Chains A and B, each alone.
Chain A
Amino acid sequence: MIKAKSGEKIFTEKCTQCHKLDERYTGPALRDVTSRRTPEFILNQILNPEEMTKRHPEVKKMLAQYATQMTFQNVSEDDAKAILEYLRSVNK
């Protein structure tokens, strides 16, 4: 729970200029992303988005659709885990 709280703060500061929970923005809506993607996928996408675009066919497809390369937002691994907890907590 504490993790989800701190995850929310980091998400607000580092991600909300591109992601909303319920509508498309610069990137996809993320309310149900924890249903769509595995935790590994989400952590990789947060920590190494450029590598994901190169390696992962799904992310490559998303790049073609959204036309913006998501970039690393200078978050630590712990930050990324906290964000994941937050994304889990909003997926209801």
Chain B
Amino acid sequence: MKRKGIIISLISVLTTALIIYNCSGGGSSSNFSDAASKVYVAPGSYDEFYAFMSGGFSGQVGVYGLPSGRLFKEIAVFSQDPETGYGYSEESKAMLMTSYGFIPWDDAHHPSLSMTNGEQDGRWLFINGNNTPRIARIDLRSFETEEIIETPNSGGNHASPFVTENTEYVVASTRFSIPIINKDVPINTYKENFGGTISFISVDKNSGKMNLAFQIIVPGFNYDLARPGKGPSHGWAFFTSYNSEQANTLLEINASQNDKDFIAAVNWKKAEEYVKQGKAKTMDAEYYRNYYDEEKQMAYSEVNKKVLVLDPKECPGMIYYLPTPKSPHGVDVDPSGEFIAAGGKLATVIPVHSFSKMLKAIDEKKFDGEISGIPILKYDAVIAGEVQDPGLGPLHTEFDGEGYGYTSAFISSEIVKWKIGTWEVVDRIPTYYSIGHLMIPGGDTKKPWGKYVIALNKITKDRYLPTGPELTQSAQLIDISGDKMKLLLDFPTTGEPHYAQAIPADILMKNSKKIYELEKNKNPWAVKSEKETRVERNGNVVRVYLSASRSHFKPDNIEGVKVGDKVYFHVTNLEQDWDIPHGFTVKGLNNSELLIMPGQTKSILWEPKQVGVYPFYCTDFCSALHQEMSGYIRVSPANSNVQISYNK
């Protein structure tokens, strides 16, 4: 039966494609011009939404406008950025420190906007590093990464960093289980030695500062995705898991449930109580928290050595398993907070659990055994309904706030729209191709903005001009304002698009930072006027305190540097108006350039290896006389007597 459905939908894809092809010849398709007018943002006009798209393996976040699909910025998060100097400059290097040393890359998956009362508040954007488990916080006034915290006791952080209703916490968990604490054991001792953790990282209401509040030790499954509850389910968080076969205790469970893995439902308010009661053990760990001090314009690292750990065996009522078919990937909570939809990658239905039924089942102890102190609830006692025929490979669900869920189906490349309550599929639309996540602006909050759904596609194949073996990935903008979904726009995205978030432009625009005020610049290497510019030697360390202003550096003739010196250029941009950055580079710089915003100071290390005269210049076309914005630095032999000098 299922097969047939798919064939039919494939045929309908083909016919639509044909029709579209025919129309483009004529050039006057009313469908096209209708779609075009819906995504047309006239020159000089603003988009309606900001969209934040994960850069995946680029380690960045892309900032796009919707509905136009225009790319505005890529925010460097886990990756060094040679454009701005992020991760290269003396001020920012600390951001990428971890307990494994300096790591200039990560796999960034799930952007998550901060919330107040379950609605977007436009303060911060969080995103996880999947490979070396980390969570970053981006400030939405500056669109810069402000903080990165590592999570210990984790073999990869995928189910992260989804936020609770008031951003009390961002969550994390172990994609891959590992020995906790990690140690040298044979890999085939998985069952006895490996475990998982679920982490709650608190977020300070005012500063946004992250702190690993506590971890919960869980059986060594693979925890995949997560969503905190909202409204009535506020205080809980839900985590999907797969690979539950690895646990010994699973053998006690009856055979029909082997088809199912679990959603872990965590009562984090209860967990907080247990921590307060002193039930948590303090475990040794090592993990970094790196933060950017906006006044000093400098990143600092702090190394933490302890973590509080809760064991479900000693904490009854803190965590339950909801059996869920089959290797579930996404778990998504509807705007009312009552329904919890799972994307069972290999399932033939979308199971939707009921939060109120879950509470009742817990009350009535409708359990089917337990694993490591975690009671397993009976499937029938918690399920609200199953969406039949949801496409092949259902992954993620977002909500429109009008009573519908939209689920991405990876294998059949489509979005399926279904009705909450009746669970019937009411519409479906093909995507090109292999959709992973999908996103409705605010579609994960209590108050979705609706209007569009974006398909985030892994494969584009024949959709764009080919660029050699590596092809672009894509996003597709689909109109959901009517009964039928309508494809409006197809646009390429950088890096692999995992999840995305979108927020109305007016919420962010009004807070967008324009300059760094010179008066507030507390960078220890800043110069506040040209009078303070200077060059100083201390042993083999030479510090060049440069100012940049249209269209000159001060000083611009520097002598007395020698081969073997460590030369630090500390460059302050003395301008105080919006959109007047200056750049800095010097010939043979083994580091990146710097791009310095008005009122900012950035520093880069240069180690000249050969004698000669080296030009330096401004890399940003800052003015009509930009080509003139340059200077020379003379490098003498190591044993030379040339003294430090510069034009004053």
The reply on B446 being an interface residue by CB < 8 A is no
Distance, CA A14 to CA B529, complexed state (A): 7
**Residues of chain B from 507 to 535 with CB closer than 8 A to chain A in the complex:** 515, 517-518, 528-531
A contact residues around B599 at 8 Å (CB):
74
Q: How far is the CB of A72 from chain B (nearest CB, A)?
A: 5
A contact residues around B577 at 8 Å (CB):
71-74
B contact residues around A74 at 8 Å (CB):
515, 517-518, 576-577, 599
Contact of A68 among B529, B531, B551 (CB under 8 A): B551
The reply on B98 being an interface residue by CB < 8 A is no
B contact residues around A35 at 8 Å (CB):
none
Do B550 and A68 have beta carbons less than 8 Å apart?
Answer: yes
Q: How far is the CB of A54 from chain B (nearest CB, A)?
A: 15
B contact residues around A16 at 8 Å (CB):
529-531
The reply on B19 being an interface residue by CB < 8 A is no
Do B576 and A14 have beta carbons less than 8 Å apart?
Answer: yes
Of A14, A67, A73, A74, most buried by chain B (CB within 10 Å of CB) is A74
Q: How far is the CB of B138 from chain A (nearest CB, A)?
A: 25
Q: What 1/0 flags go to A8-36 for Cβ under 8 Å of B?
A: 00001110111000000010000000000
Distance, CA A81 to CA B549, complexed state (A): 23
B contact residues around A73 at 8 Å (CB):
575-577
Distance, CA A41 to CA B550, complexed state (A): 23
Do A17 and B625 have beta carbons less than 8 Å apart?
Answer: no
A contact residues around B551 at 8 Å (CB):
26, 68
Of B517, B599, B623, most buried by chain A (CB within 10 Å of CB) is B623
Distance, CA A69 to CA B529, complexed state (A): 19
The reply on B357 being an interface residue by CB < 8 A is no
Q: How far is the CB of B631 from chain A (nearest CB, A)?
A: 15
Contact of A72 among B550, B552, B574, B576 (CB under 8 A): B576
Distance, CA A68 to CA B623, complexed state (A): 7
The reply on B95 being an interface residue by CB < 8 A is no
Of B529, B551, B599, B624, most buried by chain A (CB within 10 Å of CB) is B529
Distance, CA A12 to CA B528, complexed state (A): 9
Q: What 1/0 flags go to B564-583 for Cβ under 8 Å of A?
A: 00000000001111001000
Do B580 and A71 have beta carbons less than 8 Å apart?
Answer: yes
Taking CB as reference atom, which chain B residue is nearest A49? B577
A contact residues around B528 at 8 Å (CB):
13
Taking CB as reference atom, which chain B residue is nearest A14? B576
Contact of B574 among A17, A67, A69 (CB under 8 A): A17
Contact of B625 among A12, A13, A67, A72 (CB under 8 A): A67
The reply on B348 being an interface residue by CB < 8 A is no
Q: How far is the CB of B142 from chain A (nearest CB, A)?
A: 16
Do B623 and A67 have beta carbons less than 8 Å apart?
Answer: yes
Taking CB as reference atom, which chain A residue is nearest B530? A17
B contact patch SS:
loop
Contact of B576 among A12, A69, A71 (CB under 8 A): A71
Distance, CA A13 to CA B521, complexed state (A): 12
Taking CB as reference atom, which chain A residue is nearest B554? A17
B contact residues around A14 at 8 Å (CB):
518, 576
Q: How many residues of B are in contact with the other chain, CB < 8 A?
A: 22
B contact residues around A68 at 8 Å (CB):
550-551, 623-625
B contact residues around A12 at 8 Å (CB):
529, 531
Q: How far is the CB of A41 from chain B (nearest CB, A)?
A: 20
Do B515 and A26 have beta carbons less than 8 Å apart?
Answer: no
A contact residues around B575 at 8 Å (CB):
71, 73
The reply on B84 being an interface residue by CB < 8 A is no
A contact residues around B625 at 8 Å (CB):
67-68
Distance, CA A13 to CA B518, complexed state (A): 9
The reply on B476 being an interface residue by CB < 8 A is no
Distance, CA A52 to CA B549, complexed state (A): 21
B contact residues around A18 at 8 Å (CB):
549-550
The reply on B547 being an interface residue by CB < 8 A is yes
Do B576 and A17 have beta carbons less than 8 Å apart?
Answer: no
Q: What 1/0 flags go to B153-166 for Cβ under 8 Å of A?
A: 00000000000000
Distance, CA A17 to CA B518, complexed state (A): 13
Distance, CA A74 to CA B576, complexed state (A): 6
Distance, CA A73 to CA B576, complexed state (A): 5
Contact of A17 among B549, B580, B624 (CB under 8 A): B549
Q: How far is the CB of A70 from chain B (nearest CB, A)?
A: 9
A contact residues around B554 at 8 Å (CB):
17
Q: What 1/0 flags go to A52-82 for Cβ under 8 Å of B?
A: 0000000000000001110111100000000
Do A26 and B550 have beta carbons less than 8 Å apart?
Answer: yes
Q: How far is the CB of B574 from chain A (nearest CB, A)?
A: 5
Q: How far is the CB of B403 from chain A (nearest CB, A)?
A: 50
Contact of B624 among A13, A67, A71, A72 (CB under 8 A): A67
A contact residues around B623 at 8 Å (CB):
67-69
Distance, CA A69 to CA B518, complexed state (A): 20
Do B515 and A17 have beta carbons less than 8 Å apart?
Answer: no
Taking CB as reference atom, which chain A residue is nearest B624? A67
A contact residues around B552 at 8 Å (CB):
26
**Residues of chain B from 540 to 564 with CB closer than 8 A to chain A in the complex:** 547, 549-552, 554
Would you give 19 A-B contacts (Cβ < 8 Å), ordered by A? A13-B518, A14-B576, A16-B531, A17-B530, A17-B549, A17-B554, A18-B549, A26-B550, A26-B551, A67-B623, A67-B625, A68-B550, A68-B624, A69-B623, A72-B576, A72-B577, A73-B577, A74-B517, A74-B518
Given contacts A67-B625, A68-B623, 18 further A-B contacts (CB under 8 A): A13-B518, A13-B528, A13-B529, A14-B576, A16-B529, A16-B530, A16-B531, A17-B529, A17-B574, A67-B623, A68-B625, A71-B575, A71-B576, A71-B577, A72-B577, A73-B575, A74-B517, A74-B518
Interface residues in chain B, defined as those with a beta carbon under 8 Å from any beta carbon in chain A: 515, 517-518, 528-531, 547, 549-552, 554, 574-577, 580, 599, 623-625
The list of the 9 closest CB pairs from A to B, nearest first, reads A71-B577, A17-B549, A74-B576, A73-B576, A67-B624, A17-B574, A13-B529, A12-B529, A68-B550
